[in-house]
């Protein structure tokens, strides 16, 4: 029986087995499976226990629903996912073979923004009850609650938000923002989700949120993967065809959707720049695998009930348009993956193109200033008595600001296990040396970098990294890792291993050991060694003389001169500032 097949491999380790279940019970009263959101007339969001109970009952009642766990969350609870397949076939190989579109929906990455939790409960119930149509060529995979630690930590931590009555907290159980964790992977949740990405390779990824920032009339705003950065046929297709189709369909459903209103520092009536989502963000991460991603952001000041309904409508839109365009979506992505074989240049960073924009019809409220009752100083407010509709520029084009040529392969000594573990979890094809091998490779010297002053998401993030490549001969050992670039994860590999990329493993402190010099010298002893070295090495002596002539401060600093000789001597350690991921050109 098809429904006894397991959907994802992780069912195996979750211990959750698909069971034979009745088909939709004909004539079942429509009052069954009322959600806490509906029961409270749109004022409450479901708790973790309520959500889990709801989906378990749904699974037990409908053969079209299955459940499993994507590993453990940091909170120590299994991280559940729920699937809908109209023919009850959950086998991922069958789904792939039949060319069915897989839509992965994530909720509660920020549990203070729970709209997607309640919208998806109704969505999957209505799909199971055949109240809404999920076409046969679409399979839904929903993570009901992603940040379980945050979901359990309920309160009212978003004072600007119009409901629900109580809701979870942004940080997970270790106080991490999971929507900054997609490359550094500190959280168990991230490891589980990336494993899921690797196994199911979704065609569309959705990550439901609620906005902050300015006031305006729109209930739903949409952050789409930046299309230039997504690039290739998929980026162009998303920008020219698929995203516009969502706006059109949402309009039919009664929603004037606009792009996510990004500029927080000013009122939006003069337009804004598209949000730039580097790979640390969910949609930026998806782009590394050439996956179209959307981050719906409902407007915080709209009532919770309206926001959930808008989220439900957008999920329906994506399902409908996805089903209609499934063949094209599959084709453009397959073409981009095939084109990787001949792609050598990779963009590591982007900047907004301030000369190009699209025009969007924005329904805002006039912003003005009045004296604050708190400070007596001018404060911003939005005047609801003065709504306006006007065209504003939306700067949604980006241009490369940093590009690198990919090597043939990267070589990583086997000591860097945490990097290898992330690579494996992301489906990277890795080989190992079966014997010791001496090779000529390119090694980067880390010339300069800046580090944030205070911890950012548990890390002292590095930025503005500057390197100099150099050719060296190095002995690798049996078991060291060889990562060829002729593979589907090519972009993930380059953007995580090139140390100047903004979200490289280097930036996230994976290689900080190399940033500290380990040995030194006592000056009174090294004086004699340095003097001997200078006698034997006329080139070094000349370099020192020239530096003294050109730099009077240096000429007056005995310690600096001794250090100059030391750093050019055979005694100076090779590992200091040498980036330990090597490029085979
Ligand atoms: Zn959010």
| Same domain for 102 and 215 | yes
- Which pLDDT tens digit goes with each residue over 64-85? 999 999 999 999 999 999 999 9
CA–centroid distance, 86 to ligand 1, in Å, is 31
The pLDDT of residue 15 is: 36
pLDDT bucket at 14, cuts 50 / 70 / 90: very low
| Same domain for 161 and 236 | yes
CA–centroid distance, 209 to ligand 1, in Å, is 5
- Which pLDDT tens digit goes with each residue over 324-345? 999 999 999 999 999 999 999 9
- The answer to whether residue 472 sits within a structural domain is yes
Q: What is d(CA 503, CA 288) in angstroms, rounded to the nearest whole number?
A: 12
- Residue 369 near residue 378, CB atoms below 8 Å: yes
pLDDT bucket at 8, cuts 50 / 70 / 90: very low
- The answer to whether residue 19 sits within a structural domain is no
The pLDDT of residue 23 is: 52
Q: Which residues fall within 8 angstroms of residue 184, CB to CB, at 6 or more apart?
A: 280, 457, 458, 459, 505, 508, 509, 510
- The answer to whether residue 182 sits within a structural domain is yes
CA–centroid distance, 281 to ligand 1, in Å, is 10
CA–centroid distance, 110 to ligand 1, in Å, is 5
The pLDDT of residue 552 is: 97
CA–centroid distance, 28 to ligand 1, in Å, is 37
Quote the pTM value. 0.93
pLDDT bucket at 124, cuts 50 / 70 / 90: very high
CA–centroid distance, 246 to ligand 1, in Å, is 21
The pLDDT of residue 388 is: 97
The percent of residues above 70 in pLDDT, for the chain, comes to 95
Maximum Cα interatomic distance, the chain, rounded to a whole number of Å: 98
Mean pLDDT of all residues belonging to the chain: 94
Residue 4 has pLDDT above 90, yes or no: no
| Same domain for 362 and 328 | no
CA–centroid distance, 291 to ligand 1, in Å, is 20
| Same domain for 315 and 261 | yes
CA–centroid distance, 145 to ligand 1, in Å, is 13
Q: What is d(CA 495, CA 503) in angstroms, rounded to the nearest whole number?
A: 7
**Would you call 180 helix, strand, or coil by DSSP?**
helix
Residue 513 has pLDDT above 80, yes or no: yes
| Same domain for 217 and 188 | yes
CA–centroid distance, 583 to ligand 1, in Å, is 37
Residue 356 has pLDDT above 60, yes or no: yes
CA–centroid distance, 211 to ligand 1, in Å, is 7
The pLDDT of residue 6 is: 44
| Same domain for 430 and 325 | no
The pLDDT of residue 29 is: 52
Mean pLDDT of 293-306: 98
Q: Which residues fall within 8 angstroms of residue 231, CB to CB, at 6 or more apart?
A: 336, 347
Mean pLDDT of 358-375: 96
Total tally of structural domains belonging to the chain = 4
Backbone angles phi, psi at 519, to 5 degrees: -115, 165
CA–centroid distance, 311 to ligand 1, in Å, is 14
pLDDT bucket at 265, cuts 50 / 70 / 90: low
| Same domain for 370 and 305 | no
Q: Which of 369, 384, 399 is the last residue of a domain?
A: 399
- The answer to whether residue 468 sits within a structural domain is yes
CA–centroid distance, 222 to ligand 1, in Å, is 12
The pLDDT of residue 3 is: 46
CA–centroid distance, 470 to ligand 1, in Å, is 42
CA–centroid distance, 362 to ligand 1, in Å, is 22
DSSP sequence for 439-470: EEEEEEEEEEEEE-SS-BTTB--EEEEEEEEE
Q: What is d(CA 282, CA 229) in angstroms, rounded to the nearest whole number?
A: 14
- Which pLDDT tens digit goes with each residue over 420-431? 999 999 999 999
The percent of residues above 90 in pLDDT, for the chain, comes to 93
CB atoms near residue 338 (< 10 Å) = 10
CA–centroid distance, 107 to ligand 1, in Å, is 10
- Which pLDDT tens digit goes with each residue over 561-577? 999 999 999 999 999 99
CA–centroid distance, 521 to ligand 1, in Å, is 52
- Residue 582 near residue 474, CB atoms below 8 Å: yes
| Same domain for 249 and 272 | yes
| Same domain for 479 and 552 | no
- The answer to whether residue 211 sits within a structural domain is yes
- The answer to whether residue 43 sits within a structural domain is no
- The answer to whether residue 493 sits within a structural domain is yes
The pLDDT of residue 30 is: 65
| Same domain for 550 and 409 | no
CATH classification at residue 98: 3.40.630.10
pLDDT bucket at 183, cuts 50 / 70 / 90: very high
CA-CA distances (angstroms) from residue 171 to 146, 179, 286, 457?
12, 10, 22, 10
CA–centroid distance, 528 to ligand 1, in Å, is 62
| Same domain for 547 and 445 | no
The pLDDT of residue 26 is: 47
CA-CA distances (angstroms) from residue 80 to 35, 142, 148?
18, 9, 10
Mean pLDDT of 268-290: 96
CA-CA distances (angstroms) from residue 534 to 529, 540, 548?
9, 6, 14
CA–centroid distance, 264 to ligand 1, in Å, is 14
Q: What is d(CA 322, CA 314) in angstroms, rounded to the nearest whole number?
A: 12
- The answer to whether residue 95 sits within a structural domain is yes
Structural domain for 136, as ranges: 63-342
Element (H, E) at 125: helix 115-128
CA–centroid distance, 370 to ligand 1, in Å, is 30
The pLDDT of residue 364 is: 96
CA–centroid distance, 35 to ligand 1, in Å, is 23
| Same domain for 450 and 316 | no
- Which pLDDT tens digit goes with each residue over 185-227? 999 999 999 999 999 999 999 999 999 889 999 999 999 999 9
């Amino acid at each position: 029986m098809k429904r006894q097949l397991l959907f994802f491999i992780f069912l195996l380790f979750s211990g959750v087995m698909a069971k034979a279940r009745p088909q939709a019970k004909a004539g079942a009263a429509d009052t069954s499976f009322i959600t806490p959101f509906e029961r409270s007339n749109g004022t409450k969001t479901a708790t973790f226990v309520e959500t889990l109970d709801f989906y378990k009952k749904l699974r037990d009642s409908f053969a079209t629903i299955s459940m499993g766990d994507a590993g453990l969350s940091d909170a120590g609870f299994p991280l559940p996912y729920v699937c809908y397949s109209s023919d009850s076939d959950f086998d991922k190989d069958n789904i792939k073979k039949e060319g069915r579109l897989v839509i992965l929906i994530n909720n509660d990455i920020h549990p203070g923004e729970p709209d997607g939790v309640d919208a998806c409960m109704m969505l999957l119930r209505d799909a199971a009850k055949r109240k809404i149509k999920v076409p046969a060529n679409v399979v839904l995979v929903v993570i009901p609650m992603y940040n379980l630690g945050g979901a359990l930590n309920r309160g009212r931590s978003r004072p600007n938000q119009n409901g629900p009555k109580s809701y979870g907290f942004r940080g997970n159980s270790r106080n991490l923002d999971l929507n900054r964790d997609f490359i550094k992977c500190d959280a168990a949740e991230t490891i589980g989700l990336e494993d899921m990405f690797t196994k199911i390779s979704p065609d569309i990824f959705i990550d439901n949120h609620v906005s902050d920032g300015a006031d305006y009339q729109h209930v739903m705003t949409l952050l789409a993967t930046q299309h230039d950065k997504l690039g290739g046929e998929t980026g162009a297709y998303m920008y020219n065809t698929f995203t516009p189709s969502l706006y059109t369909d949402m309009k039919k459903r009664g929603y004037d959707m606009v792009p996510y209103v990004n500029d927080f520092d000013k009122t939006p009536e003069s337009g804004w720049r598209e949000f730039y989502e580097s790979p640390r963000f969910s949609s930026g991460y998806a782009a590394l695998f050439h996956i179209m991603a959307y981050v719906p952001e409902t407007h915080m000041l709209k009532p919770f009930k309206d926001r959930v309904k808008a989220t439900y409508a957008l999920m329906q839109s994506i399902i409908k348009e996805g089903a209609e365009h499934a063949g094209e979506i599959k084709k453009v992505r397959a073409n981009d993956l095939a084109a990787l074989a001949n792609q050598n240049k990779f963009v590591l960073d982007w900047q907004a193109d301030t000369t190009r924009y699209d025009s969007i019809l924005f329904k805002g409220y006039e912003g003005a200033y009045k004296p604050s009752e708190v400070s007596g100083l001018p404060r911003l407010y939005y005047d609801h008595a003065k709504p306006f509709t006007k065209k504003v520029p939306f700067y949604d084009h980006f241009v490369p600001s940093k590009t690198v040529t990919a090597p043939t392969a990267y070589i990583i000594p086997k000591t860097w296990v945490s990097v290898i573990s992330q690579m494996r979890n992301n489906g990277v094809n890795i080989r190992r040396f079966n014997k010791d091998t001496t090779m000529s490779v390119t090694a980067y010297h880390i010339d300069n970098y800046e580090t944030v002053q205070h911890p950012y998401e548990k890390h002292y993030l590095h930025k503005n990294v500057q390197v100099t490549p150099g050719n060296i001969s190095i002995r690798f050992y049996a078991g060291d890792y060889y990562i060829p670039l002729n593979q589907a994860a090519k972009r993930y590999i380059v953007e995580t291993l090139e140390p100047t990329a903004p979200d490289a493993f280097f930036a996230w402190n994976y290689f900080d050991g190399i940033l500290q010099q380990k040995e030194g010298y006592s000056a009174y002893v090294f004086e004699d060694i340095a003097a001997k070295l200078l006698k034997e090495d006329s080139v070094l002596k000349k370099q020192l003389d020239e530096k003294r002539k050109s730099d009077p401060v240096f000429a007056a600093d005995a310690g600096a001169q001794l250090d100059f000789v030391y750093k050019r001597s055979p005694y100076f350690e090779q590992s200091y500032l040498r980036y330990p991921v090597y490029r085979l050109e």
